[in-house]
């Protein structure tokens, strides 16, 4: 949406709010507050338009609007900081940020800086003098998940695995790319997305600026919205052997052939947190081709009644930081958390238990 179109829509919406309030009278719209009142051009903030409003007391307030076609948290924070400075300097003025849609993170930033907001979905906050108008929970009518899809694409998530493995560590893009086994361009793009959505911050480095996560738990949970273990290729089998015996045979097969594998879901849980007790089914990530492994294990492919599922990873990042427990290879805690969140049999509870008992403790060390 072009800025002028957005400006006109925001202007129409704010007029409706004021007129419907019954106690706010719109006197007139000021097309260029910076020209009409030289004092408004303070610092880096130049209002896109203003509205003079009369309260029931007769007092006139100048509502100054900043329009943002891109309301990602990083840009909202910059705008809110500039708006706060001018509204604190001018008497009887109140600043409002307008956008196509504001996420909860962006609205929270506005509240932190004492700035009002309004989006085209109808989410709003106007809090000045004796006026308090707030509407929230309206869905995004201009939803586009492309930026986050890019962030949570298979190769991009290799970078996320590196960062989430040690959230307090500071990374140069080059080092991050090498560790994640992605191109420098891919790592740089992921870095920019993380900064735009305030998942991360830049910190000084000896050569260039480094990057460090600011909210690893939010990043991890947002990732789970875009991920399901069904994104992998699943092949169901039946074996007469006990699931634990099958897993030991898979370890032997891997040792003899060099094929990578890692237990996940109930199989990994049985060796880590023991939350999903009594689960009589194995889940194993393993590299293609599956036929040699299935033959070695004596597995029969079935449509129902399976007790082992071999999973071909959607990306090699699944094997990042595989851990060895009880002489078996298990996926990382991060990968296990992702898989458990989409597992129907108490998976969400098991994921939360894993987060509280292992992942957060590791992050704090």
Angstrom distance (rounded) from CA 59 to CA 24: 10
Angstrom distance (rounded) from CA 12 to CA 64: 15
- The DSSP H or E segment spanning 197 is none
Q: What's the predicted TM-score (pTM) here?
A: 0.70
Domain range annotation of the chain: 3-135, 146-225, 231-364
Q: Which one is the CATH code of 146-225: 3.50.50.60, 3.40.920.10, 1.10.10.10, 3.40.50.300? A: 1.10.10.10
List, in sequence order, every residue forming a beta bridge with 311; answer none if it has no partner.
234, 285
List per-residue pLDDT tens for the chain, 365 residues long: 688 899 999 999 999 998 888 888 899 998 876 545 545 544 556 788 999 999 988 999 999 999 998 888 888 998 998 888 877 778 889 999 999 999 888 999 999 999 999 999 999 999 998 899 999 877 776 655 455 668 899 999 999 999 999 999 999 999 999 999 999 999 999 999 999 888 999 988 777 889 999 999 999 999 998 898 888 999 999 998 888 898 999 999 999 999 999 999 999 999 999 998 766 789 999 999 999 999 999 999 998 888 999 999 999 999 999 999 999 999 999 999 999 998 987 899 999 999 999 999 999 87
Contact 29, 50 (CB under 8 A): yes
Half-sphere exposure of 97 (CA within 13 A, CB side): 31
Q: Which one is the CATH code of 3-135: 3.40.1350, 1.10.150, 3.30.70, 1.10.10? A: 3.40.1350
93-99 and 60-67: which strand pairing? parallel
């Amino acid at each position: 949406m072009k800025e002028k179109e957005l400006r006109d829509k925001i202007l129409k919406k704010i007029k409706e709010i004021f007129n419907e309030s019954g106690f706010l009278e719109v006197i007139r719209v000021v097309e260029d507050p910076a020209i009409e009142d030289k004092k408004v051009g303070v610092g880096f903030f130049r209002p896109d338009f203003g509205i003079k409003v009369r309260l029931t007391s007769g007092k006139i307030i100048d509502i100054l609007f900043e329009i943002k076609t891109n309301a990602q948290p990083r840009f909202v924070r910059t705008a809110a900081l500039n708006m706060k400075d001018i509204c604190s300097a001018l008497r009887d003025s109140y600043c409002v940020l307008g956008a196509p849609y504001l996420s909860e993170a962006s609205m929270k930033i506005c509240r932190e800086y004492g700035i009002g907001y309004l989006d085209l979905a109808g989410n709003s906050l106007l809090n000045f003098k004796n006026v308090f108008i707030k509407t929230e929970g309206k869905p995004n009518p201009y939803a586009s998940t492309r930026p986050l899809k890019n962030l949570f694409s298979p190769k991009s998530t290799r970078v996320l695995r590196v960062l989430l493995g040690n959230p307090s560590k500071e990374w140069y893009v080059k080092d991050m790319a090498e560790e994640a086994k992605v191109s420098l361009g891919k790592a740089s793009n992921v870095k920019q997305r993380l900064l735009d959505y305030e998942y991360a911050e830049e910190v000084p480095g000896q050569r260039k600026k480094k990057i460090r996560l600011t909210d690893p738990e939010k990043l991890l949970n947002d990732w789970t919205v875009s991920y399901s273990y069904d994104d992998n290729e699943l092949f169901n089998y039946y074996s007469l052997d006990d699931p634990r015996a099958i897993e030991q045979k898979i370890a032997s097969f891997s040792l003899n052939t060099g094929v990578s594998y890692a237990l996940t879901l109930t199989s990994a849980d049985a060796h880590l947190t023991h939350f999903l007790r009594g689960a009589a089914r194995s889940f194993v990530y393993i590299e293609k081709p599956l036929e040699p492994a299935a033959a070695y294990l004596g597995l029969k492919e079935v449509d129902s009644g399976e007790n082992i599922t071999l999973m071909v990873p959607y990306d090699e990042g699944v094997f990042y930081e595989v851990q060895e427990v009880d002489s078996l290879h298990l996926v990382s805690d991060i990968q296990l958390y992702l898989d458990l969140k989409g597992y129907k049999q108490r998976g969400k509870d098991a994921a939360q238990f894993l987060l509280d008992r292992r992942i957060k403790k590791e992050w704090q060390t």
